[in-house]
Amino acid sequence: MVCNYFFYSIVTLLTFQRYEVECLCKFTRNSIIVTKTEIGAENKLNYKNIIYMSFLFILISCSNTFNNPLIDMGAKIKYDDSNPDKNIQIASVCLKSSRDKDENLLNIKNFITDIMLSDKKTRIILFPETALGLYYDENSPEEYQMSVAETIPGNATNFIGDLAFKYNVYICFGMAEINNQILYNSQVLINPSGNIEAVHRKNNFVAFDKKSGFQSVENYTIVTIDEIKFGLIICADSNSKWLIDKYSENKIDIVLSSLADMSLETEIDFLSRCLNSWVVKSNKTGYEGANYYEGHFGIYNPVGSQVAGNKNGKEGYVVHNIGVHKK
Partner 1 sequence: MLFITSGFIKNKQIIFSIMLIVFSLKLYGIENDVTSDKLSNTINTHVSKWNQNSNTKGMFISNNILAPLNFYQESLFSFTMAFLTNMENGVSINLGYFFTPYISLENRVSIGTLSDIFFVFQYHCGGNLFFINLITQNNYLKNKIVYKRMKEKQSIQNIYNYFDPLDYGLYSGTFLKYINLYNYKTEIHFFHIVPYVTFGYLFKIGHILIDLRMNMTIASCSWSSLEHTSPGAGLYMSPYPELFIIIPTLNFDIGWKL
Site string for partner 1, 50-79 (x = CB under 8 A): -------xx-xxx-x-xxxxxx-xxxxxxx
- Encode burial over 139-157: b for 16+ CB neighbours within 10 A, e otherwise: eebeebbeebbbebeeebb
Rank residues 149 and 299 by Cβ distance to partner 1 and give the closer one: 299
Residues 81, 100, 114, 142: which binds partner 1 (CB under 8 A)? Answer: 81
- Encode burial over 252-266: b for 16+ CB neighbours within 10 A, e otherwise: bbbbbbbbbbbbebb
Report the alpha-carbon distance of residue 166 to residue 32 in Å, rounded: 40
Rank residues 74 and 314 by Cβ distance to partner 1 and give the closer one: 74
Kindly report the length of the chain.
327
Rank residues 27 and 136 by Cβ distance to partner 1 and give the closer one: 27
Interior angle at CA 200, CA 194 and CA 202, nearest 5: 145
Report the alpha-carbon distance of residue 181 to residue 184 in Å, rounded: 10
Least spacing, CB of residue 253 vs partner 1, in Å: 12
Total binding residues for partner 1 by CB under 8 A? 42
Q: Is the dihedral of CA 20, 23, 24, 25 positive or negative?
A: positive
Question: Is the link from the previous residue into 69 a cis peptide, with omega within 30 of 0?
Answer: no
Dihedral pair phi/psi, residue 110, rounded to 5°: -60, -40
Site string for partner 1, 11-50 (x = CB under 8 A): ----------------x-----------------------
Contact between 228 and partner 1 by CB under 8 A: the answer reads no
Residues 248, 290, 313, 315: which binds partner 1 (CB under 8 A)? Answer: 248
Report the side by side order of strands in the sheet with 170-179: 196-201, 182-190, 170-179, 124-126, 86-94, 316-324
Rank residues 46 and 80 by Cβ distance to partner 1 and give the closer one: 80
Site string for partner 1, 258-297 (x = CB under 8 A): -----xxxxx-----xxxx---------------------
Least spacing, CB of residue 100 vs partner 1, in Å: 32
Report the side by side order of strands in the sheet with 228-234: 222-225, 228-234, 254-258, 278-282, 297-300, 306-310
Residues 305, 313, 315, 319: which binds partner 1 (CB under 8 A)? Answer: 305
Rank residues 69 and 147 by Cβ distance to partner 1 and give the closer one: 69
Rank residues 30 and 97 by Cβ distance to partner 1 and give the closer one: 30
Q: Where along the sequence are the contacts to partner 1 (CB under 8 A)?
A: 3, 27, 57-58, 60-62, 64, 66-71, 73-81, 239, 241, 244-245, 248-249, 263-267, 273-276, 302-303, 305, 325
